[in-house]
Chains A and B, each alone.
Chain A
């Protein structure tokens, strides 16, 4: 059935691992936005959540790097990072192998995708789940778009993948939520960590809210790298949600730079209610 929830959020490891170093006036508002996102997700009645992440070499490496991958297991362990470093205890998140198989089969009608029966969640999925399903009581369908090791899939292919995910959600009887996670501009884990191009972020989120395909595809990796850092490559995850949401209009609930988290911390969602003709 049609998607019941579509949104995006940040996933930087500092959000949980370095929370004590942030200005609480800003970070508390961000955490409150995450709480609202959890509430919206619960209200949607979602029976499973697709999390489109930009995985960080926890499972996929340059010896065999898929552009797109979808998890197909009943459970996923995480986080792969040291729990003390990330601020998240070890967990076992539920999956749904049968649902994954059906979604993958539908996606494969238009987009070639790798599947993975083993997947260790890193911060890209663990941080959002920490806030959105803290009891790990909602099956997760992990999805990865390679945003780390070039050559990266072109943006229009990430868009096509998002459309395929939307069609796949339509084709199954379960109520599916979809959440993209990543940074906008950021230079994570580099000497420039903490630098944020907030103006660029706001412009990107404006395009995202308008769900303007042409404007969203009007980037290339060279100018993203120059203006938004290598972390900016993760816009693919946000754009895939735009495509999956099929023209829905979005709202930014929170978008503020928190340098110690290395990113403009963001929570946004699309209005999926039926539109009048």
Chain B
């Protein structure tokens, strides 16, 4: 087996991540209070994406895992986005 360096993440890092996540949560609430019309969804989704990246990299340890796992996660998200995009080709132009 490859020398699996089991990386032990210090508690304080997890705590910093939590603080960042909560901050992003409040920022996403804030941005939807401002009247941005159709862009408010975009704003909220950007913060949700940032939060999910934090959860994936730190809480779910992707940062310390083998690269192919990161590749797979990215691949799955891209496939999903492509499916949504293609579905919208129907609804947007109907």
A and B co-occur in one complex: no
